[in-house]
Amino acid sequence: MSKLSTLPAAIAAHVHDGDTLYLAGFTHLIPFAAAHEIIRQRRKDLTLARATPDIIYDQMAAAGCARKIIFSYMGNPGVGSLHVLRRLVESGALEWEEYSHFGMITRLAAAAAGLPFLPMRPTGASDLANVNPAYRRIPDPYGGEDVVVLPALHPDVAILHVQRADENGNAHLWGILGEQKEAAFAARRVILTAEEIVSEDVIRRDPNRTLIPGLVVSAVCHVPHAAHPSYAQGYYDRDNAFYLEWDALSQDEARLQEWLDQWVYALPDRAAYWDKLGPEVHARLTPSPRPSGEVDYGGYA
Amino acid sequence: MSKLSTLPAAIAAHVHDGDTLYLAGFTHLIPFAAAHEIIRQRRKDLTLARATPDIIYDQMAAAGCARKIIFSYMGNPGVGSLHVLRRLVESGALEWEEYSHFGMITRLAAAAAGLPFLPMRPTGASDLANVNPAYRRIPDPYGGEDVVVLPALHPDVAILHVQRADENGNAHLWGILGEQKEAAFAARRVILTAEEIVSEDVIRRDPNRTLIPGLVVSAVCHVPHAAHPSYAQGYYDRDNAFYLEWDALSQDEARLQEWLDQWVYALPDRAAYWDKLGPEVHARLTPSPRPSGEVDYGGYA
Amino acid sequence: MTPYSPSELMAVNAARLLTDGKVVFVGVGLPNLACNLALRTHAPNLTLIYEAGVIGARPERLPLSIGDPTLVTGAAAVAGMYDIFALYLQRGLVDVGFLGGAQISRTGDINATVIGDYAGPRTRLPGSGGSMEIAAWAKQCFIITPHQKRRFPDKVDFQTSLGHGPARRALPGRGPQAVVTDLGILRPDASGELVLVALHPAATLEEAQANTGWPLQSAPDLAATAPPTADELALLRALDPDRIYLK
Amino acid sequence: MTPYSPSELMAVNAARLLTDGKVVFVGVGLPNLACNLALRTHAPNLTLIYEAGVIGARPERLPLSIGDPTLVTGAAAVAGMYDIFALYLQRGLVDVGFLGGAQISRTGDINATVIGDYAGPRTRLPGSGGSMEIAAWAKQCFIITPHQKRRFPDKVDFQTSLGHGPARRALPGRGPQAVVTDLGILRPDASGELVLVALHPAATLEEAQANTGWPLQSAPDLAATAPPTADELALLRALDPDRIYLK
């Protein structure tokens, strides 16, 4: 049963004002195209959850989509601050809820497993637990040290960018996997964007590569280059220059709005965005080939 | 730092009388060669943990290695009973400790994660919890329904058969993965047997295929066909005929001892065992090729 | 009409219970045959999940074990054992669980653990495997088992998995919704007691009652199942040419 | 002698702290530079783990982000984020964690969260990321940070991760065992207070004391670090040709 959709149709059908979203991808495969479509469709009052909000949530917050942010590292990775989010938090204009990375992924893992909570060992650092009542301590029923627990986080929608998927939503991912699997199983609805839509046969030739099974997927959209300025392992490089550029750009409200106008609102889709980046950027971001080699699954008829 | 070893040396160094062992592999990649070497080295008083004891633990129990069994499905998969273990349990000659599959893998997952326990949702079936005090119920600190918990299981030694590993113990596995990863991270020592020892480069060309990292591995041994009568995906088939044959054989004490004599004690190693199986069996168990296809990781210099 | 065996009758009727598009957690033996028959007849879009870790299997031969390599080659996905039980089953993604068992009680409890006393068992059975959780968390379960009095006691010797009763209300799954035997099909009534709702060709209510360990009730609208078709039998036999399960 | 910058001095001295064969959890920025320098000099058998999920990375270029694609290509293994934190860090497989932080207290507490009040922050910093757990569970931690009074307060505004103190005793890790600054190296004394144990060339005890927010003690055997060698500097500069970190 094909789940193929255009990205605008998938966002229109599955992302609603007030939803809690988890746009997944730890540095890698960040679904920027979906974020831009959400901005274009002018969704409001979203709760945006991500371990690393990254530029993607800085952009969504700048466009006024966000009511609240849930995070564990609100920086521009390798550069510095996420200035939009930082301004909104410092001024009290944005609600926030904060964890450590392990806390964040533990909440998703609990939800993915259908559990109400998961334990972690104590860290001895108590200030985060003091300001976030979701952190609780419970005794070890076997007489050991107390454990710290966090409750499951069930996003309304998880959005993942993947390297390749079939029309049923079975998806191959490689490179950094972050919290992709946990987010997909934790969420109530899942939208995939994919660099390539491939035949079912390509997926089924290597079932161990399938991180996301179609049965949890609501819609799959063919959107090449959807992760820029982050990257898709083997397809294009992280655009470090843009991450550095954002640092300056995002500190200037006028430039920020101009950027949103030119790169989001004025463009119909990701193909236009990629085109606008131009051939020099395309060339700069193109990796050399590094094939994985094959394994043999064997035919057993 | 090479961890290459012969199998006899690895067993001699890492498996001691009285140890708790987890010979991993759910139907797939069951480390029979290691079990036979343990039998040949006449280890005693072992606690043998496996979700599915399978023929491998029936053989070890028949050879007198076992003091106790920890399991969740003590059957000959697809055939019926494991007659040796069943006789020993029914006669009271073997201690046992029993879980459901999910309980067993939960205990390993807790140990692998360095946690004292992990929760599960209740199942409404209470008899197993009534006979096994490791099952506890604790309240959900967030006010939901109680959860059931089980404590971490830390084997002294986990033994895994893998399709290919480099000399540092970084191993690629594909096909059914069962509890391989959890067992390796849960255990204090890990022995790998491998169909192939490959160059580090083969492993590093596809790092997402690496399920077991060398840093948890104590020894890696080159032992082709180590999983027979179970199988290695892409290398050889499950020997269903032997699983059926074991059903009759294992009910006859004389035939059982004769089998152990001929197929374990009289043989120096797995190469001799495979040779003894003969070319007809080799041919019957050879799958046709089904290559996985490749992916591209990209070079980023 | 082609003659057929009791196990063929059970497999065909079990296959018919599966509606297309569902996610089915497949057990070894007759459930496996039934699911693969359904996949090849009226339900090509079933997603078969095997507890060994295979999702969307398309086996080219019938696997003897649920961990057979033919389940992996050509499958949609492979997941580890923890993920299968946690992310799929406990999370609530499984529509139908297929179970067997040495004993099925009046209210659908299953015993796959021991006959006699647990600590000193008369007969030690394999144990739960996935049964305990499948019966609890799959949205519904189907059971396949031959209709014999010793297999249908009023109460099981050991409750490996829960059928119906007060504890069921707290669970996400509705529990055993059909028991397919070689005489007919049982379903729970409003109180959770298994009652006969259909008889296979040539079977009688009296025969079913004589082979059940409690006073078996029949539904007011007791139905008759259609005999296996020639197509169904041909496909089924092609799946198990060595008649390992179709005894 | 080749001239060098304060960040080069810190990176070289941090790299020297790493002994070969260890498993190192690598943070972004100077820690990343230091680990990659060590890998290319005296510690070719370091296993570099990046919280993004890469084990045994062999980056061909210096990654700007700890999730850069160059970390994956040619790595020994990739694992999901849950596994990195649970199976590697919480399980106790990490020998050394490398951390930064806006504030380091007298007893090695790190603040990476806020300056000022948490609810109404004067400066909102990125937050813990992996710091809270790395400081707790790595067998030991090294910290790299410039030596400035505002960065070394007596107490941190927010305890993102624990240094030394009573709560440390229950933890598997020994906590911060070295703080590398651009003036020297601090280590905890028996009471857990950070004291100056070495001075870099040209730095003085008085300078270090003036740039520390508590009365900084020095070790009785206060040492002098060797200046960066030409080799170390050449390799370091090749790693960061655009001087993104070597400001």
What are the pLDDT digits (tens) for D63-112? 878 899 999 999 999 999 999 999 999 999 999 999 988 999 999 999 99
Minimum-distance CB partner of B121 among A115, A206, A289: A115
The answer on pLDDT for D19 being more than 70 is yes
Residue A78, pLDDT score:
81
Q: Please compute the mean of the pLDDT values over residues C156-166 and round it to a whole number.
A: 97
Which helix (DSSP H) or strand (DSSP E) does residue B7 occupy?
helix B7-14
Q: Please compute the mean of the pLDDT values over residues B218-230 and round it to a whole number.
A: 98
CA distance C139 to C143: 14
The answer on pLDDT for C224 being more than 70 is yes
Query: What subunits make at least 3 CB pairs under 8 angstroms with A?
Result: B, C, D
Tokens describing residue A30: 């960040």
Residue A291, pLDDT score:
98
Minimum-distance CB partner of D77 among B170, B185, B301: B170
Residue D28, pLDDT score:
77
CB-based contacts of A100, cutoff 8 Å, min separation 6: A72, A123, A128, D127, D128, D129, D130, D131, D132, D133
Query: Nearest 5°: phi and psi at A200?
Result: -55, -35
Residues in D whose CB is inside 8 Å of some CB of B read 21, 23, 45, 47, 54-56, 58, 60-61, 68-70, 72-79, 86-87, 90-93, 137
C232 close to C37: Cβ distance less than 8 angstroms: yes
Reported as a pLDDT band with limits 50, 70 and 90, residue A28 is: very high
CB-based contacts of A197, cutoff 8 Å, min separation 6: A4, A164, A165, A166, A167, A220, A222
For chains B and D, what is the number of CB pairs under 8 angstroms? 76
Q: Per-residue b/e over D18-33, b at no fewer than 16 CB within 10 Å?
A: beeebbbbbbbbbbbb
**C23 vs A1: CB contact, 8 Å cut-off?**
no
Residue A81, pLDDT score:
95
CA distance B32 to B243: 13
Minimum-distance CB partner of C76 among A214, A298, A300: A214
**B170 vs D69: CB contact, 8 Å cut-off?**
no
CB-based contacts of A172, cutoff 8 Å, min separation 6: A162, A163, A164, A165, A202, A203, A206, A209, A210, A211, B295
pLDDT digits (tens, 9 = 90+) for C10-55: 999 999 999 999 999 998 788 889 999 999 999 999 999 998 999 9
| Residue of chain B whose alpha carbon sits nearest to that of A299 | B288
Q: Please compute the mean of the pLDDT values over residues B34-46 and round it to a whole number.
A: 98
pLDDT digits (tens, 9 = 90+) for B229-288: 999 999 999 999 999 999 999 999 999 999 999 999 999 999 999 999 999 999 999 999
Minimum-distance CB partner of D67 among A26, A72, A108: A26
pLDDT digits (tens, 9 = 90+) for C228-246: 999 999 999 998 888 888 8
Helix (H, G, I), strand (E, B) or coil at B174: coil
First to last CA, chain B: 26
| Residue of chain D whose alpha carbon sits nearest to that of B172 | D77
Minimum-distance CB partner of A207 among C61, C70, C77: C77
First to last CA, chain C: 20
* Percent of chain C clearing pLDDT 70 (strictly above): 100
CA distance B242 to B234: 19
The answer on pLDDT for B227 being more than 70 is yes
Residue C242, pLDDT score:
82
CA distance B277 to B257: 18
Higher confidence at residue A42 or residue C2? A42
Average pLDDT, chain A: 97
Q: Chain D partners of A81 at a C-beta cutoff of 8 Å?
A: 126
CA distance B270 to B272: 5
Asked if B297 reaches chain D (Cβ–Cβ under 8 Å), the answer is: yes
> For the range D156-159, what are the long-range contacts, defined as Cβ-Cβ under 8 Å and sequence gap of 24 or more?
D156/D103, D156/D104, D156/D105, D156/D109, D156/D110, D156/D111, D157/D103, D157/D111, D157/D113, D157/D114, D157/D115, D157/D116, D158/A127, D158/D111, D158/D113, D158/D114, D158/D118, D159/A125, D159/A126, D159/A127, D159/D109, D159/D110, D159/D111
The answer on pLDDT for A96 being more than 90 is yes
User: How many Å lie between the alpha carbon of C110 and the closest alpha carbon of chain A?
Assistant: 24
Interface with C, mutate which of B91, B121, B179 (most C CBs under 10 A): B121
CB-based contacts of D215, cutoff 8 Å, min separation 6: D209
The answer on pLDDT for A5 being more than 90 is yes
Residues in C whose CB is inside 8 Å of some CB of A read 21, 23, 45, 47, 54-56, 58, 60-61, 68-70, 72-79, 86-87, 90-93, 137
**Which residue is catalytic, options C51, C133, C193, C232?**
C51
Asked if B251 reaches chain C (Cβ–Cβ under 8 Å), the answer is: no
Which helix (DSSP H) or strand (DSSP E) does residue A278 occupy?
helix A270-284
Reported as a pLDDT band with limits 50, 70 and 90, residue C84 is: very high
B173 close to B134: Cβ distance less than 8 angstroms: no
- Burial tier of A179 (Cβ tally within 10 Å: 0-12, 13-18, 19+): buried
pLDDT digits (tens, 9 = 90+) for B122-173: 999 989 999 999 999 999 999 999 999 999 999 999 999 999 999 999 999 9
Domains in chain C: ranges and CATH: 6-239 (3.40.1080.10)
Interface with A, mutate which of C47, C78, C81 (most A CBs under 10 A): C78
Reported as a pLDDT band with limits 50, 70 and 90, residue C101 is: confident
Minimum-distance CB partner of A77 among D65, D80, D86: D65
Determine the residue type at C73.
T
Residue D1, pLDDT score:
64
The answer on pLDDT for A287 being more than 70 is yes
Tokens describing residue D206: 């008085």
CA distance C209 to C201: 16
Q: Please compute the mean of the pLDDT values over residues D201-227 and round it to a whole number.
A: 97
Residue C1, pLDDT score:
65
Which helix (DSSP H) or strand (DSSP E) does residue C145 occupy?
none
Query: What subunits make at least 3 CB pairs under 8 angstroms with D?
Result: A, B
Greatest pairwise CA separation for chain D in angstroms: 50
User: How many Å lie between the alpha carbon of B246 and the closest alpha carbon of chain A?
Assistant: 22
**C86 vs A210: CB contact, 8 Å cut-off?**
no
CA distance A131 to A144: 26
CA distance C197 to D161: 64
| Partners of D191 in the β-ladder | none
**B75 vs C129: CB contact, 8 Å cut-off?**
yes
Which of the 8 DSSP states describes residue D164?
A: S
Residue A1, pLDDT score:
76
Q: Is the pTM of this model over 0.90?
A: yes
Task: Give catalytic residues of D, as residue numbers.
Answer: 51
Q: Chain C partners of A296 at a C-beta cutoff of 8 Å?
A: none
Reported as a pLDDT band with limits 50, 70 and 90, residue D128 is: very high
Residue A174, pLDDT score:
98
Is C232 part of the annotated catalytic residue set?
Answer: no
Determine the residue type at A286.
T
D128 close to D172: Cβ distance less than 8 angstroms: no
**A300 vs C93: CB contact, 8 Å cut-off?**
no
Tokens describing residue B177: 């993965």
**C65 vs B174: CB contact, 8 Å cut-off?**
no
For chains B and C, what is the number of CB pairs under 8 angstroms? 175
Asked if A115 reaches chain C (Cβ–Cβ under 8 Å), the answer is: yes
For chains A and B, what is the number of CB pairs under 8 angstroms? 150
Higher confidence at residue D64 or residue A185? A185
| Residue of chain A whose alpha carbon sits nearest to that of C95 | A215
Interface with A, mutate which of C62, C91, C96 (most A CBs under 10 A): C91
| Residue of chain D whose alpha carbon sits nearest to that of A54 | D126
Residue D246, pLDDT score:
82
C231 close to C237: Cβ distance less than 8 angstroms: no
**D162 vs A124: CB contact, 8 Å cut-off?**
yes
CA distance B26 to B30: 7
- Whether C and D touch, i.e. at least 3 CB pairs below 8 A, reads as no
Average pLDDT, chain D: 95
- Burial tier of A104 (Cβ tally within 10 Å: 0-12, 13-18, 19+): buried
| Residue of chain D whose alpha carbon sits nearest to that of B203 | D76
Average pLDDT, chain B: 97
Domains in chain A: ranges and CATH: 7-116+152-285 (3.40.1080.10)
Task: State how beta strands C47-50 and C54-55 pair.
Answer: antiparallel
Q: Please compute the mean of the pLDDT values over residues A134-156 and round it to a whole number.
A: 98
Residue A64, pLDDT score:
98
B149 close to B174: Cβ distance less than 8 angstroms: no
User: How many Å lie between the alpha carbon of A235 and the closest alpha carbon of chain B?
Assistant: 7
Neighbours of C180 (CB within 10 A): 29
User: How many Å lie between the alpha carbon of A61 and the closest alpha carbon of chain B?
Assistant: 30
Determine the residue type at A71.
F
Residue A77, pLDDT score:
86
The answer on pLDDT for D2 being more than 90 is no
CA distance D203 to B162: 55
Residue B132, pLDDT score:
98
Query: Nearest 5°: phi and psi at C137?
Result: -115, -20
| Partners of B49 in the β-ladder | B22, B70
Asked if A132 reaches chain D (Cβ–Cβ under 8 Å), the answer is: no
Residue A239, pLDDT score:
97
User: How many Å lie between the alpha carbon of D38 and the closest alpha carbon of chain A?
Assistant: 20
Asked if B228 reaches chain C (Cβ–Cβ under 8 Å), the answer is: no
Q: Chain A partners of C94 at a C-beta cutoff of 8 Å?
A: none
CB-based contacts of B175, cutoff 8 Å, min separation 6: A208, A297, B28, B29, B163, B232, B233, B234, C69, C72, C78
